[in-house]
Structures are given as structure tokens and as C-alpha cells.
Amino acid sequence: MEIFKEKTTQYAILSQCKKYYPTEFGFHPSSYTLMKDVDLLQEDIEKYGYERTYICKPSIGACGEGMIIFNNIEDLPKAKEDHAFAIQHYIVNPLLYKNRKFDFRIFVIVQGVSPMRGYISFNTGYMKICAEDYDKNDLKNPFSNVTNRDQNKLHPSFNPGPKENEEDENAFYNKESTAKVWEMLKEDYLDGNCEDPDAKIDEIKQKVKEVANSLLKAFRSSIEVEQTEFMQMEDNQELNDRICNTLGLDIMLDEDFNPWLIETNRNPDMGLDNIQLNPDGTEERWLCQINANICYSLTNEIARMLIGKEESKEFVKCYDSSDPDSEDSKFLYERVFQIFKKISGLKLKKTISSDDFTDFLTTSPLDIEPSLISTLSLPPHLTLQALFNTLDQLSSDLDTDIFKLLSKIES
């Protein structure tokens, strides 16, 4: 799952998918990579001016370190060769919990590579709540704009959660179980304003489930390329169903109850300690019951599915690449992946040579002029994503739809 480590790689793939499937991938805020997309970013800023806000994150950063919220390109950090930045449109109209911005982490169990299956739980997870009330006119305040817990625990009023047998119904905790999200939606927003609050909550959950489905579909082929050695092992199909990992999806709702994927965590925090900083600089620790419940649920349900071969009681299937009713084979990235495999040869490689790719093009029924191929500016070796970019560029140069281009190549 290392592909989920770099935000710039994630954003590039999701942006490509959003370009061709704008409705299905509408959950992904428009994104840019600094400095590669700086011209596109500049155009966007000039077009919308101060009406649009952006959030900038180090590509391989964590714990909220280095985040910047801005609406002026002059406020951007200077990118270095070994330090890329990922930039997203900032959600300025978030749904609020007691006047504070929040997001919630949903856990997804990912089983296998080929086929790949995903299972999601709407109760195994937690919500992260800012330490101060949200003010869209104050972008510089991290305690009201950034939900990251490592940022908010620096606030003097930060309360990570109750100690055992000390829960206070009047206290404000900066971490709550996911169940609190659904309870809050019903009590604060839906009761009295909606004919059927439970049906509306089910609708929101279904949208979150579709986010997980589309996310795994977008990355499945890239993960298979990275797992070439494993996929070529003997009995790999038996092994395939015995490997799994967990993803933490950070979801934010806007005022219209639309879910937005803010971040994907390949190694989500499951630490069992609540940590609070004291005024003297010391730390106080106690059991985080929410995380303890998450660890129990994940361990129990993974054992149930992988060892007991039973259906999970907590997680429901959100993705299955082997489903005969699935249209994954028609999905753009999967079609490019099939071309990648054909050029790769008998054994799948992590990259294909540009020479092999150009030879493939010249022998395909496309009748492409060699002079056009020479303008593609190919690197010596192409990753799956680079092949996608090249075919995208080629379809533009040929003034044809990429789907028609792929159909010709596939024929």
C-alpha cells in the first residue's frame, strides 16, 4: 500500500480519474502538484481570485506538519527537488460539530491484490474535532482550520477523551467515536428538517461506501504492478486471499452532506494511549477506549474473514474486482493496465521501456506518424501512470477521444 504514502501520486491518479469520470470521482477536491502544476494553479487562482481557497501539504508529510492554507500564490512555500508539495481546493463550507470543523476516519480492510476486495465499517472509526470554533475568515489559525490531532493537542483546551469511568456528558472532547457522527447528524441537522432522518443517514453512508469503491478501483492496477514479485509466486491465488491491510479514509462532510476525501492513510494511527500535554511540558497518558475498540474490531473481523472464512459482522463489502457484475474491465486505468501488461511481456514488470512502447505503437493498427511519436518526450522507462499520461497526450495530439484510442489499440 506504499502508493498511498505520497500525496502527489495519489492526487495525480485521482485527478486523472476525475477528468474522465467527473461524477464518480467528484469526492476528490481538485488538486495540483508543486512545482509540476504551478502554471495550472496560477491559472486557477487568477480565474477565481480570493473566492477560492487552497490547502498545501508536503507530499510525504504527516501529523499536520507543514500545512499551509492560502489564496495567494505568493504565500506558497518554495518547493525543493526532493520535497514536493500537494495542493487541494480547501473545503470552505464544512459541516460543523458544535461550531467546530471536523472530519471522521473510516477504516477499510483491503484483502488481496488480484482479485482485490474491500470491506468498510461505518462504526469502526472516530471523528477528529478542531480545538476552536471555525471561522472561514481566519485562515491562519490552525486550531480552527486543521483537524489533525497532532496540531490540535498543542491547544491548552485540547481534551483527547475521557479517562476510565470519568466520562463527563458536559465536557467537550476533541475525539469521538464514528457513532457520534451519525448521532450528531440526526440530532443537530436532520430531526425536524428531514422527513426520514434515518434514510438520509443511510444515503450519506452509501456515498462514503462509493468513495471507498472508487478509490480502490483507481489504485488496484498500480498496486498489482508494485506487487509483481508476489503475483508471480506459485500458489499466489491461495496466498492472495490471505493477505490484507487497512486503510484509514479521512472524510469531511460539507453543508450539503456531500462526503469529501481529505486524505488516505496507509498506516492509520491505532495507538492505545490518549496523550495530553500539561502546562509544565510533561505528558499525561491513559487508555484511549475508542482506539482500543477499533483494534479489537479490526483484529476480530480480519480473523473472522481470513481464518474463519465467515462473513464479517461489522464490515460490509464495498469493492470486489472479481465481481462478474463489475465493470472494472471497462475502467480507464484497468484498460491502460492491460496494455502495460501486453508490452511488459510474459512477466509483469514495474516499468516498461520507452523503446518497447514505441515499437508497440508502430505495429498497432493506429497508423501513427513516426514524427508524432518522437514528440512524446518519453523517459527511458514508463511506469503505469506515465503510460497513462503518454496515452492521454497522444489522444490529444491525434485529436481523438482516449476511449476511442484505447479501443483501436486493443483491437
Give domain status of residue 204, yes or no. Answer: yes
- Count how many domains the chain has: 3
Same domain, 276 and 199: yes
Which of 320, 344, 373 marks a domain boundary? Answer: 320
Q: The domain containing residue 81 runs over which residues?
A: 1-91
From 321, 375, 366, 370, select the one nearest 339 (Cα to Cα). 366
Same domain, 26 and 106: no
Q: Is-contact 119 111, C-beta < 8 A?
A: yes
Which of 58, 91, 124 marks a domain boundary? Answer: 91
pLDDT for position 410: 83
Same domain, 139 and 8: no
pLDDT for position 239: 83
Asked whether the bond before 116 is cis by omega within 30 degrees of 0, the reply is: no
Give domain status of residue 391, yes or no. Answer: yes
- The residue whose grid cell reads 478501483 is 217
Same domain, 59 and 177: no
Q: What is the pTM of this model?
A: 0.91
Same domain, 261 and 362: no
Q: How many residues does the chain have?
A: 411
Give domain status of residue 326, yes or no. Answer: no
Which of 91, 111, 128 marks a domain boundary? Answer: 91
What lies within 8 Å, CB to CB, of 302 at 6+ separation is 109, 244
Same domain, 190 and 121: yes
Give domain status of residue 144, yes or no. Answer: yes
Distances from the Cα of 362 to the Cα of 175, 237, 326, angstroms: 58, 35, 33
Give domain status of residue 24, yes or no. Answer: yes
Same domain, 347 and 363: yes
pLDDT for position 251: 97
Give domain status of residue 156, yes or no. Answer: yes
Same domain, 143 and 163: yes
> What 3 state SS string does the chain have?
CHHHCCHHHHHHHHHHHHHHCCCCCCCCCCEEEECCCHHHHHHHHHHHHHHCCEEEEECCCCCCCCCEEECCHHHCCCCECCECEEEEECCCCECEECCEEEEEEEEEEEECCCCCEEEEEEEEEEEEECCCCCCCCCCCCHHHHCCCHHHHCCCCCCCCCCCCCCCCCCCCCCEEEHHHHHHHHHHHHHCCCCCCHHHHHHHHHHHHHHHHHHHHHHHHHHHHHHCHHHHCCCCHHHHHCCCEEEEEEEEEEECCCCEEEEEEECCCCCCCEEEEECCCCCEEEEECHHHHHHHHHHHHHHHHHHCCCCCCCCCEEEEECCCCCCCHHHCHHHHHHHHHHHHHCCCCCCCEEHHHHHHHHHHCCCCCCHHHHHCCCCCCEECHHHHHHHHHHHHHHCCCCHHHHHHHHHC
Which CATH number does the domain housing residue 137 bear? 3.30.470.20
Same domain, 169 and 274: yes
176: which strand partners?
Answer: 127
Q: Rounded to an integer, what distance in angstroms lies between the CA atom of residue 260 and that of residue 208?
A: 9
pLDDT for position 296: 94
Write out the three cell numbers for 277: 500535554
pLDDT for position 202: 97
Same domain, 163 and 296: yes
From 94, 100, 102, select the one nearest 149 (Cα to Cα). 102
Query: Residue 198 corresponds to which amino acid?
Result: D
From 13, 28, 31, 88, select the one nearest 331 (Cα to Cα). 13
Q: Rounded to an integer, what distance in angstroms lies between the CA atom of residue 219 and that of residue 10?
A: 9
Same domain, 106 and 234: yes
Same domain, 58 and 149: no
Write out the three cell numbers for 138: 481566519
Distances from the Cα of 104 to the Cα of 16, 150, 251, 313, angstroms: 26, 15, 5, 21
Give domain status of residue 399, yes or no. Answer: yes
Q: Is-contact 402 391, C-beta < 8 A?
A: yes
pLDDT for position 178: 94
Mean pLDDT by 10 residues, the chain (411 residues): 83 92 95 80 78 80 71 67 76 94 96 93 95 89 90 90 85 93 95 92 97 96 87 75 91 97 88 84 90 94 91 94 88 94 90 91 73 80 93 88 88 78
Which CATH number does the domain housing residue 52 bear? 3.30.1490
Give domain status of residue 209, yes or no. Answer: yes
